[in-house]
Structure 1
Amino acid sequence: MSEQLSQHQMNDQGHLLIDGADAVSLAQEFGTPLVAYDVSAIRDQIRRFKSVFEENAIAYEVSYASKAFASIAMYQLVAQEGGHIDVVSGGELYTAMKADFPMQNVSFHGNNKSASELEMAVDQQIGVVILDNFHEIELLTKILASKNAEINVMLRVTPGISAHTHEYDQTGQEDSKFGFDINSGQAKKALEQVLANPRMKMLGVHAHIGSQIFEVNGFVMAANKLVDTVADWHDELGYEPEVINVGGGFGIRYTAEDDPIAPEAFVDAIVKAVKARAAERNLKTPAMWIEPGRSIVGPAGYSLYTIGSRKDVPGIQSYVAVDGGMGDNIRPALYQADYEAVLAAQPLAEPEETVRIAGKYCESGDILIRNQPLPKTKPGDVLAILDTGAYGYAMASNYNRNPRPAVVFVEKGDAKLVVARESLDDLVRLDRKL
């Protein structure tokens, strides 16, 4: 029984509901493995973020970090909510184009954007390119000149703040592959290059200090550092920023041990810090952008699997295997990420045993959950793993030549297939014979 579920998420049969749809029925209709999203939860979280800015009377953008989960339908959903998106590849940008997403509401991130990707961004007249390094400034300068074009830019900077999170998720410290370092003077040098280029309009600065962060202090420290940095630039160079983008990384609850504050509470603290620091530095308060990804789609996602085999090692461990695994959710193997699961047909049942949830992939490390209390299970039961909406399907692979799962969006009881399940023919479609 998961503490994350409540009685209103059950139907009369006691089955798990995903935005009003029976999870067991979803598995029967669309097959498993299946990723199902609660669309109302996604809309609600975007609106909660927006309300924080509006209550604080500050200009803003809520820019969905689409690396968490990108699809045509997801971009359409963000557009319906009046959101912005950030993309990190030509593939994500192309997907946004296919979704008819308004290009003026697109930011382009990445530490090694190719010439072809930057050309696509310029041709599409996207809202802003977030510059990450000096090579990129030079490359974009050449592309803009060749196309006789102009574009908005921001500088990604590393503020020297190390977030309390998994070391692979720390991106704001000085020793990082991302961004221009503030303390060494790299960021100021980059600013001077951009300001000297009439084809680039310098909107402001961006920083991202990490992912799955539970403590607000790091965000406040980073916000203060960004305000101090642009205030110094204003005093020294006369530059006044239009935007401060504090990134994302707001932690969510995956298990009972996790105790994050509400994602919008992070934003409220950051906004208040920026406004206060800007006033201290006699700087006009810039617009504030955030880039939440996991906190928008993570809790809204459910991974549905069918239970198959079981292995009991007396006195040691019992393994319950499902028809998916590391191919559709690499995070437990890659980050040692923890999740909770329930039986879709009896999610509030008292547990009778603790088992290890194993995937079907040919790796000993293909373990989705190491110790999961469950009622007794049998082959054919539908297992629902909670909070899998971020970086599950987005990082999925065809390892062992397994097709990637289908994705459905569920809203108020209506389920719509938004990503079809890959077929065996899809797996060999790009292969060529000798």
Structure 2
Amino acid sequence: MPARDTVHAQRSARFGEALRLAVAEGMLGETRPLAGFLDADGVRTSVASLRDAFDAEPRVRVLHTFAAKAASLVPVLRLLADCGMGCEVAGPGELRLAFEAGFPPERIVLDSPAKTRDELRLALALGVAVNADSFGEIRRIDGLRSPGSASVLGLRVNPQVGGGSIGAMSTATPTSKFGVALRDPGAREQVVRTFTERPWLTRLHAHVGSQGCPLELIAAGIAETYALAEEINGALGTRRITGIDIGGGLPVNFDDDETRPLFSEYVAALRTAVPGLFDGRYDLVTEFGRSLLAKNGFIGARVEYTKDAGGRRVALTHAGAQIATRTVLMPDAWPLRIGAFDAEGRPRNGPTMVQDIAGPCCFAGDVVAHARELPELREGDFVALYDTGAYYFSTPWAYNSLPRPAVYGFAGEPGALRFAPVRDAQSLESVAAESGLGHAEALTALFGPAGDLQGPAGNA
């Protein structure tokens, strides 16, 4: 068996072992019907693959940051910090999580298209790098930045090289909300003027998109950004731009166990499209998220009921839109592979039948897998949703006030896996508190005993 196939077979067996142990140890069962699982060893291997790919270019200096939105869980972020990663954040919540996880300010990059003045003040005071998303934000930074700020400051540009197969994941389209649209009339000239007038502006940033964007499209966007950096430095007669943030966006294969494309293939595509990127004149920043974690995690869910409808078997589980939002709302763009396991967590075998794997949310489209050929599932069985280590269990949707599931990490050799809690399952008390329990009487208190509005307006 080829080495790559061996790795993938080992991954499938490893996840199967983890699910069986989770059932045996009570992490999954009738009272805990849903949980997320992340392979910490797999995450470390993915980070090493990223580093190895860029280390093959010895002259370039790279800060690899993890896109916090892909797994906004402090223990996961701390694992990545321990692996030497930096952190890319897109708001005050993610910035707080990054600090709680132990990332130093100089290894944090703040992106987002709608930063408030308070967010910018904090980032500049802490020394966090900031990529401004617009000329308007640059003007805000003009008024907020102190000469002694340690923050590396950049401008995000949209090279407008086009979109991939998923429009919502494509950020370099002509009308994208992100960055300065370089091909709009006068925009490129204004970018050059902006750098000319601001010696503290030293970085360019571009992110073409993620899932659905081929390597060639991503590389084309980075090539456009590199050309702009060369143009600005040439116009100024000095190396004003010293760094290029090339974003992330490496797509993930959701069709089978194989990891593709590889980080080494991504670097090769960049080397072909823009060889000057690796000559050592520019420091680079990357912002990978999904490609580091997706294939290192899975969701386990208990089958609560089965039924037949219109000649189709339906397995009703606890994994639906609240945990697999993108898959439910865009099933063609975000299909997930499903594993079938019996009540003991062992792989279910036997004849297959066409089945829908549905979730608990109260709308008809809450289906995570349509018409799949799987061994017949029964009440009390379990399903695994593969390739869900990024986004899925870390950023749940509170539809129907469904509580957030527990998340566990695991590590170790086959036959000796060890588990650790990453996030506790949300309690119903917490659900009620988040739903305004502490203000339960606030609206009725606006009215008197007879239902009259109280206060000056009610007495008028």
Normalised by the length of structure 2, the TM-score is 0.84
SS in 2 for 1:171: coil
Task: Extract unaligned runs of 5+ from structure 2.
Answer: 442-460
Q: Which residue of 1 aligns with 2:118?
A: 116
* Alpha-carbon offset, residue 87 of structure 1: 0.2
Q: Which residue of 2 aligns with 1:82?
A: 84
Provide the C-alpha distance between the structure 2 equivalents of 1:5 and 1:278, rounded to a whole number of angstroms.
Answer: 32
- Could you tell me whether the CA contact under 8 Å between 2:404 and 2:426 is conserved in 1? yes
* Alpha-carbon offset, residue 405 of structure 1: 0.7
* Alpha-carbon offset, residue 252 of structure 1: 1.1
- Given the alignment of the two structures, is residue 99 of structure 1 paired with residue 96 of structure 2, yes or no? no
- Could you tell me whether the CA contact under 8 Å between 1:63 and 1:84 is conserved in 2? yes
- Could you tell me whether the CA contact under 8 Å between 1:157 and 1:179 is conserved in 2? yes
* Alpha-carbon offset, residue 272 of structure 1: 5.0
1:314-353 equivalences in 2 (<5 Å):
314-315=310-311, 317-336=312-331, 337-344=334-341, 345-347=345-347, 349=349, 352-353=352-353
- What CA deviation, in whole Å up to 9, does each residue of 1:156-189 have, x standing for no partner? 1111112322011110122110001222342542
- What CA deviation, in whole Å up to 9, does each residue of 1:2-54 have, x standing for no partner? x996256437xxx8024x98343366468331110011111111111111111
SS in 1 for 2:55: helix
Q: Relative to 1, partners in 2 of residues 1:96 and 1:33: Cα closer, same or farther, differing over 3 Å?
A: same
Q: In structure 2, what residue type is equivalent to 1:25? A: A
6, 12, 29: which one aligns with 2:9: 6
- What CA deviation, in whole Å up to 9, does each residue of 1:95-141 have, x standing for no partner? 11222221110000000011222122123221x10110122112222
- What CA deviation, in whole Å up to 9, does each residue of 1:283-307 have, x standing for no partner? x631222211110111111011000
- Could you tell me whether the CA contact under 8 Å between 2:28 and 2:300 is conserved in 1? no
* Alpha-carbon offset, residue 203 of structure 1: 3.1
| Segment drifting more, 319-328 vs 133-142 | 133-142
- Could you tell me whether the CA contact under 8 Å between 1:156 and 1:207 is conserved in 2? yes
Q: Which residue of 2 aligns with 1:305?
A: 301
Q: Relative to 1, partners in 2 of residues 1:150 and 1:82: Cα closer, same or farther, differing over 3 Å?
A: closer
Provide the C-alpha distance between the structure 2 equivalents of 1:426 and 1:123, rounded to a whole number of angstroms.
Answer: 34
SS in 2 for 1:417: strand
Q: Would you say how many aligned residue pairs link Structure 1 and Structure 2?
A: 419
Q: Which residue of 1 aligns with 2:451?
A: none
- RMSD, aligned α-carbons: 2.6
Provide the C-alpha distance between the structure 1 equivalents of 2:319 and 2:258, rounded to a whole number of angstroms.
Answer: 25
Q: Relative to 1, partners in 2 of residues 1:6 and 1:50: Cα closer, same or farther, differing over 3 Å?
A: same
Q: In structure 2, what residue type is equivalent to 1:371? A: A
- Could you tell me whether the CA contact under 8 Å between 1:275 and 1:285 is conserved in 2? no
281, 289, 295: which one aligns with 2:291: 295
| Segment drifting more, 390-399 vs 109-118 | 390-399
Task: Extract unaligned runs of 5+ from structure 1.
Answer: none
Larger Rg: 2
- What CA deviation, in whole Å up to 9, does each residue of 1:319-372 have, x standing for no partner? 111023111120113332200111243447355112111000101111111122
* Alpha-carbon offset, residue 424 of structure 1: 0.5
Normalised by the length of structure 1, the TM-score is 0.89
Q: In structure 1, what residue type is equivalent to 2:166? A: H
- Given the alignment of the two structures, is residue 223 of structure 1 paired with residue 222 of structure 2, yes or no? yes
1:186-205 equivalences in 2 (<5 Å):
186-197=187-198, 201-205=200-204
